[in-house]
Structure 1
Amino acid sequence: MTEAARRSALREALATRVVVADGAMGTMLQAQEPTLEDFQQLEGCNEVLNVTRPDLVRSVHEAYFAAGVDCVATNTFGANLTALGEYDIPERIAELSRAGARIARQAADAFAARDGRTRWVLGSMGPGTKLPTLGHVTYGVLRDAYQQGAEGLLAGGADALLVETTQDLLQTKAAVHGARRALTVLGADVPVIVSVTVEATGTMLLGSEIGAALTALEPLGIDMIGLNCATGPAEMSEHLRHLARHARVPLSCMPNAGLPVLTKDGAHYPLGARELADAQETFVRDYGLSLVGGCCGTTPEHLRAVVERVRGLTPPPRDPRPEPGAASLYQTVPFRQDTSYLAIGERTNANGSKKFREAML
């Protein structure tokens, strides 16, 4: 299958059935105990493993493909300006992105060659560690760096660009615009998927409600919107309900394996494989999801259960009712007015100011 045909097949699959993505990457890599030498003395920089230990990275992709998933996300969550900048290697964005996509592509093609079933690669574009809304980094610099990463992912064989775990709407816009610029430069046509992270508080990290995210991001021409990380599926339900009612584009959901429980051995994610599969099946039936998967704490066992549960399901047709409006950072305001008159005024203090009272009289 040619690259263009493969990418076209992904679009068709997302439009006609439930596509299953993979689960957690970082914990799977850390479980293999890479050495400081593997990290090139940059301990914790998982993206460096794309060039030093591609065998470790590929083994994670293979474990998920063996569980039956349709696509895997590249090991490039931190291959961005601010995350790599903390290791003083921001110039390696394109290199590590390309290497990560190439490893995933090789694993996907190997499994496809065995049984003839197409597998896809989602190019992961993470949020980084700096928030432009708070002035940590400027928008233009961030956008251009995301473009470098997107070009690397596409050159390595990614079939879609996944802007994920976004916490700041301005950072999300920078990533989407960077992705769009990369597609234009390379003359490529792949889906751009945005997955925002809504905290247990009910908003994104900077206080944005899901309605604000939809109003701000959908007009950018994204192909899909959804949720990932921060919480388990139970906490995502109401936000998915809003998206199902109002989003014009298809929906995705990749929850954690529940809310983490801190133990003496570190964070433990309590949600089992059956519970995750139950939740994802319910979401598909209730909200018409097209792409499901897992995030922190999920394993190949979790995704195997999800595959078994949603295989053969067709997302029910949605009847979204888009609500035109404008969004601030925090909330969306519909362009809607009641039939009563609209009064706009300012409360004044006639008792506290003698001059104002006399002027008013």
Structure 2
Amino acid sequence: MTRQEFLNLIKDKKLMFLDGATGTNLMKEGLPAGACTEEWILNNPDVIRKLQKSYVDSGSDIIYAPTFTGNRIKLINFGLEDKIKEINTRLVKLGKESAGNNALVAGDITMTGRQLKPMGDLEFEELIDVYKEQIEILVEAGCDILVVETMMSLQECRAALIAAKEVSDIAVIVTLTFEGDGRTLFGTDAKTAAIVMESLGAAAVGANCGTGPDNMVSIIADMASVTNIPIIAKPNAGLPVVTEDGSTEYDMDCDTFVAEMEKLLKAGASIIGGCCGTTPAYIKGIHDKYKDYDIATDILQYGDGTVFSRKTEGVRFLTSERKTVAFSLDDPFMIVGERINPTGKKKLQAELREGKLDMVCDFVSQQEEDGASILDVNVGMSGIDEKQMMSDVLDEIIPLTSLPLCIDTSDENTMEMALRKYPGRALINSISLEKDKAERFLPLAKKYGAMFIALPVGPKGLPGSLKEKHEFIDTLCQKAYEAGLSKEDIVVDGLVATIGANPDAALETLSTISYCKENGLATICGLSNISFGLPQRAFINAAFLTMAIANGLTMAICNPSQELLVNSAFASDLLRHKEEADLRYIERMNRYDGMNVQVVSVPKGQKLITDGSAGKISNGVDGSASKDNTSKPANSLDEPADLVTEFYNKIKNDVMKGSKRSIEKDTLDAVAAGCAPKTILNDYLMPAINEVGDLFDKGKYFLPQLIASAEAMKLSIAKLEPLLNENDTEGAKDKDTIVIATVHGDIHDIGKNLVALMLKNHGFNVIDLGKDVPSEKIVDTAIAEDAKIICLSALMTTTMQEMKNVVKISKEKNCKAKILIGGAVVTEDYAWEIGADGYSSDAANCVVVVKNIIKNI
């Protein structure tokens, strides 16, 4: 079934029902923890037939073939990778037998358990190939659609969708799992996830697992507010709890679950089912109650009753992995930061040739701080491999910024590589009519869900007249529509010429901007050309920008640190009464000390003038500053800088930014300059990583940044350790020991690895036993190593029960180590129910909990 066929089907049905849980129901039928689920099912086919037949009889329109962990990477853990085709084919066949002609069968795909670079060792292209292999088998086996579910990484969702596109035209639906803060483990919010999935061609998007229906409402509503495709809701039956007999159940009964699902329908869901803890009875309950439900198509509701509409025409979206920038033609003006471009920057060119990216990283943070909404990335220059350099730059800056990127290259291969690996919705800079560029680049925009800048340059070059320029724009737009793109995917370049050569250049560009605005097209321009060859160019640029904004300019590529230019833009929005322009203007002006009103005494007959610097008041006569109102800055340039403090702060900044490229050198330079290793560790590295942890807890930093900072700190400590041990030979022996492991049957280890790294950085002796570790081995190791604490991780409901087994064995063997548990499916209540000594919600919190436990031992 193709995407369009699936969309037509749900349009006719209006509401579709999925199945319920598979794993938790199979466990009740004897599936042992740690077993390969696919293999066990094939050895017990009647169990899955009975379960899936019950779902179909209960009203499921779609059932999931039990191929959830049927990819090569997962099967390698059980030595079954050579049977991948047999396993997936037989499991789809079982699903088809259960469904008959009464339901569709979805080939089920999920995360592999290995992490993508830079957090893991898995290359993006390797992951795509892994998904391709399984998808080809599933399609050949006869599944009707594909479902990519229980995803925590937006980039892995993208890999699965790209893989599906490249081997089939089958419809793909996608659901992600969100944490309590409304973001995935990797920091992606629901709106961003939905936008990226729709732009890449998903037939439906939504959420599954992680929570009950009551706590999923805002996620579903956020997705519905930014997309036009169907929204999926497949929540758990509440939260897991341990019953008196020791088994794990979920705390939301069938009647409550059914009643709560109405909130998800009101929030925009039109494909509903159940995840962990739900049974055929739950599916029958929602089917019987809502099969004739009148689905709202216009006005929807958040859980608090707030009303909203589905995605409205004219709204555009660009995203990174962690943030969405939404804009329409009447929204405030936006800046596309231009500085990551070696043209005319000899120092940057030299660094790129050396493979250094320090300036690039500085430009990222500086432009974001100065108010850029989007960052243009261009590395085109002689003497380098542009494709490889673009790849390296993306790897470096994607974790650094939440701003969407504008990929700026004329090389087709470089562009495809960048769009392929960028974990968001990018802007292409640019596509024109020259040298068949439209025919080569428009399919890339469509395939990877990107927006693009339409540059009105024809086959023979620049347009000869204003009329021809507009004809080029119309032709480019028509080609885009034919490629499957929409008006909202296009940003037209006004093509600024210099008034030194053409006195009408500004007027022609303003006319083009107005023309595009009248035709519902967003616009962009590069400003610097307008004043080329003229004196005091900043004034011309600023005046031209305000005129362009008045004519409808959407965004401009410029340097956001150019104060006159940017401040003029903010003031223009304010004068045009654009939404929240007053707040934006005031916020920006607050960066100037001169905006702080000061009460001063002015001599009679003299005029009070502020010069824009803190406390400086001109007497209006000779322009000199009043001595009574000026003070010398503490770090004035004419005072010698404290080089030692400068080195200390540089290392702290490296940790805050996760600067793995520079922290080793900075650490060694600091030591050579006289910085004490112990002071570096205790007074700079430790506070920095603690601050990173606080920012993570507050939702200002996300998992990629947390990992990058922890890895950077690890590199610094590796340089300091030999020096620290020289002066403190006993200190290393006195480190408290912690044993950490992912429990038996669970092969997910990203959370565990990060916890281990953070604990090591905080000075603990960490023994990492890896993943899928037998309970006996965990306890025996803790006893042998006289560990203070055992840290356990589990990511799946089918394996979290092994935590209770570790607690049981620990007590039986009189192990003195305290037991701390955590993981995506684990709750604090569950920790107390199984007799654990503590619970941690994330890696940063784990350090705090561990220290508190050890303090009280």
Deviation at 1:267, TM superposition (A): 2.9
Mark the runs of 5 or more structure 2 residues left unpaired by the alignment. 299-308, 334-572, 575-583, 594-613, 615-631, 641-857
1:80 to 71, 77, 96: 71
Specify the alignment match of 1:46 in structure 2: 37
Deviation at 1:136, TM superposition (A): 4.0
Q: What is the CA–CA distance in structure 1 between the aligned matches of 2:310 and 2:75, rounded to whole Å?
A: 40
1:247-280 Cα shifts (integer Å, max 9, x gaps): 1211110000012224462432111112222222
Amino acid at match of 2:637: K
2:225 counterpart of 1:245: yes
CA contact under 8 A between 1:105 and 1:156: conserved in structure 2? no
CA contact under 8 A between 2:194 and 2:206: conserved in structure 1? no
CA contact under 8 A between 1:131 and 1:168: conserved in structure 2? no
2:28 counterpart of 1:31: yes
Specify the alignment match of 1:351 in structure 2: 633
Specify the alignment match of 2:262 in structure 1: 281
The 3-state SS of whatever aligns with 1:87 is: coil
Q: What is the CA–CA distance in structure 1 between the aligned matches of 2:271 and 2:128, rounded to whole Å?
A: 26
1:14-69 Cα shifts (integer Å, max 9, x gaps): 1232111111111222222258xxxxxx9521111353332222222112122222
Q: What is the CA–CA distance in structure 2 between the aligned matches of 1:92 and 1:199, rounded to whole Å?
A: 34
CA contact under 8 A between 2:131 and 2:159: conserved in structure 1? yes
Q: What is the CA–CA distance in structure 1 between the aligned matches of 2:60 and 2:177, rounded to whole Å?
A: 22
Specify the alignment match of 1:38 in structure 2: none
Specify the alignment match of 1:18 in structure 2: 15
Within-5 A mapping of 1:1-361: 10-16=6-12, 17-34=14-31, 43-109=34-100, 112=101, 118-132=102-116, 134-183=119-168, 189-263=169-243, 265-284=246-265, 286-318=266-298, 319-321=309-311, 323-335=315-327, 336-337=331-332, 339-340=573-574, 351-355=633-637
Q: What is the CA–CA distance in structure 2 between the aligned matches of 1:289 and 1:212, rounded to whole Å?
A: 17
The 3-state SS of whatever aligns with 1:165 is: strand
The 3-state SS of whatever aligns with 1:77 is: coil
CA contact under 8 A between 2:73 and 2:130: conserved in structure 1? no
Amino acid at match of 1:137: L
Q: What is the CA–CA distance in structure 1 between the aligned matches of 2:219 and 2:31, rounded to whole Å?
A: 37
Mark the runs of 5 or more structure 1 residues left unpaired by the alignment. 36-41, 113-117, 184-188
State which structure, 1 or 2, has the greater radius of gyration over its C-alpha atoms: 2
Amino acid at match of 1:151: E
The 3-state SS of whatever aligns with 1:291 is: strand
CA contact under 8 A between 1:194 and 1:224: conserved in structure 2? yes
Specify the alignment match of 1:115 in structure 2: none
> For residues 261 and 53 of structure 1, do their structure 2 counterparts lie closer, same or farther at Cα, with a shift above 3 Å needed?
closer
CA contact under 8 A between 1:101 and 1:154: conserved in structure 2? no
> For residues 199 and 34 of structure 1, do their structure 2 counterparts lie closer, same or farther at Cα, with a shift above 3 Å needed?
closer
CA contact under 8 A between 1:20 and 1:70: conserved in structure 2? yes
The 3-state SS of whatever aligns with 2:174 is: strand
Specify the alignment match of 1:39 in structure 2: none
Amino acid at match of 2:111: P
Deviation at 1:301, TM superposition (A): 0.9
Q: What is the CA–CA distance in structure 1 between the aligned matches of 2:283 and 2:132, rounded to whole Å?
A: 31
How many residue pairs were aligned? Answer: 335
Could you tell me the percent identity over the aligned residues?
26
The 3-state SS of whatever aligns with 2:269 is: coil
The 3-state SS of whatever aligns with 1:154 is: helix
Q: What is the CA–CA distance in structure 2 between the aligned matches of 1:250 and 1:292, rounded to whole Å?
A: 10
CA contact under 8 A between 2:31 and 2:37: conserved in structure 1? no
The 3-state SS of whatever aligns with 1:129 is: coil
Amino acid at match of 1:76: T
Question: Which fold has the larger relative contact order, with Cα–Cα distance below 8 Å and residues 6 or more apart in sequence?
Answer: 1
Query: How big is the alpha-carbon RMSD for the aligned residues of Structure 1 and Structure 2?
Result: 2.9
The 3-state SS of whatever aligns with 1:307 is: helix
The 3-state SS of whatever aligns with 1:227 is: strand
Amino acid at match of 1:278: A
Q: What is the CA–CA distance in structure 1 between the aligned matches of 2:273 and 2:238, rounded to whole Å?
A: 13
Amino acid at match of 1:152: I
> For residues 346 and 152 of structure 1, do their structure 2 counterparts lie closer, same or farther at Cα, with a shift above 3 Å needed?
farther
Moved more, 133-142 or 244-253: 133-142
Moved more, 249-258 or 212-221: 212-221
1:319-343 Cα shifts (integer Å, max 9, x gaps): 5225423222222222452623876
Runs of 4+ in 1 over 6 A off after TM superposition: 344-350
Deviation at 1:208, TM superposition (A): 1.4
Deviation at 1:142, TM superposition (A): 1.0
The 3-state SS of whatever aligns with 1:122 is: strand
